[in-house]
Structure 1
């Protein structure tokens, strides 16, 4: 586990209402009382960098306790997107780096935790992860882009680097976006309608469910008659909005991002676009909502956000624009949102499998995202972008 340095560090959890909970770490002891819902939170004072593996103790007034070992202090980055962010180092050009890290004589203090996928209509309180925080000895199983990014930071900063990974394959950007950010964006009324139709707590949702159940009853009658007569069964009505979906607007934000907020981080990296490849100009609005929603949710109005522009894919085809349109939209988003936003161009990075959507070279895009962070967050005098404007 890695905690963010030089920042207040929220530690939170759940207990019986009224119980007193104390968190002890690095000579600090902070106490809170669980509220009527059982929620409690303390904030550790800013911590200095430490490669020493120390214990974090959580205990309540009933003498119940939880102990977490191997806690380091350094830099933590949130990592998200779809399959090219999920893609592991061992299956990419990062494989050699992963092997070097894993077989190093001394522990390379890079850690990754992969948040399990949960789809939800409302923000969830708890997150799970198979295996929790993983050490660099298992780096081949890390997200390739995240590992490349983290290792580049580590080489320059010489401090622990943590990756909080919450990504899922074949998923559209709006699934990772906060509901309020979608509702507030004037160009995303269609996404907002899908959410409202599925939410029985809204008037729109109640009306949608009434229509659905009315149609369902009629379908049951017709389906029964057809079945008895040996005829064709009609198509069953769909649930309203995103209710029958599991990757609809805000569903992954609610299920696998909201539960880890407000874990202290430095910033975020993002790799996504394939599933929105036909979105055209609306994708810029969706990126705006994504970034604003994350910044609002974390209470970090200047949260750094670095992303990869869509890669080249397939053989040249004069009759198809491929991903050129989405690349242009990503560039326009970058041009219009320069405050702590950086874009990494990938078009010059040839894949070892040119026909594959999951490009092999994830080493250099990760390094390029790291250069943005090194220049902008860590004050390194290095070039972080090419001649784009």
Structure 2
């Protein structure tokens, strides 16, 4: 299926003799270009036309092909707070893009919890003593933090070259809160301009964010029944075509992803893990960089078990968390936990998006930029060793040590007996591992932790990040092939 943008351009160029030189919407005033990378500049002109691009002393040329498309790359740039201009010329047509910065650029995508707009913060009523950024939109005045909101029906090229904005009111009010707080934290630590692009649609599954071919490359989907394949073809590509493909090949540092509620309602498990693999691999391929970081968010605790006419239990969401966590086997991925950030599990859209954004920034600062000694995520189950009637549990991402976040005994640990029935267990930190024991269980078989939709467990690392829920008899992880 041809991109609607291409169709638009064919008609546009055929009918107008006054707009031979056209740029994609993502290239515009106020944008941030990725430092240290070959930066793509592209567009459309008359077939065979020479296009000249000048920026910061660089002078580049390209020739439009038979369809009028042209593309060139600027040499890697150094971060700069100086507002500069890009000059583009083709024949008698000229474009001047102003207020251009060079720094770090990230793309955030997903469904409603990523789309959650900054303006909603002003309506919140913080609990007594809470430090909630309810006035952030009104007070924000950082002109070197730039935002681009991908609006599905407004990605056609136009002569205004608009779309990028400084992260101030009123544009900031409509922008992703997760994306903004991520960018704000990143800039404070890196001391460079930051640009963040938000492409998110409430209620969207993962499938519309990639074409069917991305999933059908996987043997897993080709070996499923015909109904599943048919559903993939029906659901795929809708938002990718209009909201992601139109950004390629704009140079990025990485991706942020907050999505899954829709697929959790469908009770997907291993199927979702493979869909994440398909999405990650496809996006990386299209951006021609198989190492681009992909940092994503554990879907927030929610009372799925209380949904009407649905066969969910309190364990349905933890099973989906397990499917999300399995994707960590894919290179250069991190998943942040949200189990401690929820005020009310009855709310599918928890308001605390600032900590989500800051945790994603911590992942980037630690894992991508290597400038932060903090672990990239909370403690992640690594191994379990059975010793008598106890299990000794070890973790990755322990930071400077495991701890009880509230000083109380560790909570939400359970041990299964020979019949697979789970019983509440005692757990304690010893030698920076967790020792788990259930009284009266002579032959324990497995351990699970925080294994219910509303669990608010207290096992953290010393840096303040919660451990991710897990069960030691995780069969899904063994069924997933990340390669």
Classify the secondary structure of the residue corresponding to 1:171.
coil
1:20-31 map, 5 Å: 20-31=50-61
**Using the alignment, how far apart are the partners of 1:94 and 1:366 within structure 2?**
19
Report what 1:147 is aligned to.
180
Choose from 318, 324, 328 the match for 2:322: 328
1:343 matched to 2:335:
yes
Deviation at 1:359, TM superposition (A): 1.0
Distance 1:191-1:29 versus aligned 2 partners, 3 A rule: farther
Report what 1:187 is aligned to.
220
Distance 1:358-1:91 versus aligned 2 partners, 3 A rule: same
1:77 matched to 2:126:
no
**Using the alignment, how far apart are the partners of 2:161 and 2:206 within structure 1?**
24
- CA deviations over 1:77-128 (Å, ceiling 9, x no partner): 0111011111112214998658457535x63411111112269xxxxx9578
Report what 2:116 is aligned to.
87
Report what 1:372 is aligned to.
363
**Using the alignment, how far apart are the partners of 1:367 and 1:67 within structure 2?**
35
Classify the secondary structure of the residue corresponding to 1:66.
strand
1:355 matched to 2:346:
yes
**Using the alignment, how far apart are the partners of 1:262 and 1:279 within structure 2?**
32
In angstroms, what is the RMSD of aligned CA positions?
3.0
Deviation at 1:319, TM superposition (A): 4.0
Classify the secondary structure of the residue corresponding to 1:58.
strand
Structure with higher helix content = 1
Classify the secondary structure of the residue corresponding to 2:152.
coil
- CA deviations over 1:197-221 (Å, ceiling 9, x no partner): 79xxxxxxxxxxxxxxxxxxxxxxx
1:295 matched to 2:284:
yes
**Using the alignment, how far apart are the partners of 1:184 and 1:55 within structure 2?**
42
- CA deviations over 1:279-310 (Å, ceiling 9, x no partner): 12210000000100011110011110000011
Deviation at 1:130, TM superposition (A): 10
Classify the secondary structure of the residue corresponding to 1:31.
strand
Whether the aligned pair in 2 keeps the contact of 1:115 and 1:127 (CA below 8 Å) is: no
Choose from 146, 149, 160 the match for 1:114: 149
Between Structure 1 and Structure 2, whose CA radius of gyration is higher?
A: 2
Report what 1:38 is aligned to.
68
- CA deviations over 1:347-381 (Å, ceiling 9, x no partner): 11123x54221111111111111111001111122
**Using the alignment, how far apart are the partners of 2:187 and 2:320 within structure 1?**
32
Choose from 250, 262, 268 the match for 1:263: 250
Whether the aligned pair in 1 keeps the contact of 2:221 and 2:229 (CA below 8 Å) is: no
1:136 matched to 2:167:
yes
Whether the aligned pair in 2 keeps the contact of 1:191 and 1:249 (CA below 8 Å) is: no
Structure with higher strand content = 2
Distance 1:241-1:385 versus aligned 2 partners, 3 A rule: closer
1:387 matched to 2:416:
no
Whether the aligned pair in 2 keeps the contact of 1:180 and 1:293 (CA below 8 Å) is: no
Aligned pairs, how many?
333
**Using the alignment, how far apart are the partners of 1:132 and 1:26 within structure 2?**
22
**Using the alignment, how far apart are the partners of 2:161 and 2:227 within structure 1?**
31
**Using the alignment, how far apart are the partners of 2:119 and 2:247 within structure 1?**
26
Classify the secondary structure of the residue corresponding to 2:250.
coil
Distance 1:172-1:101 versus aligned 2 partners, 3 A rule: closer
Whether the aligned pair in 1 keeps the contact of 2:304 and 2:313 (CA below 8 Å) is: no
Classify the secondary structure of the residue corresponding to 2:380.
coil
Report what 1:55 is aligned to.
85
List gaps (5 residues or longer) in structure 2.
Answer: 1-30, 125-131, 307-311, 382-483
- CA deviations over 1:25-45 (Å, ceiling 9, x no partner): 111111111100110011011
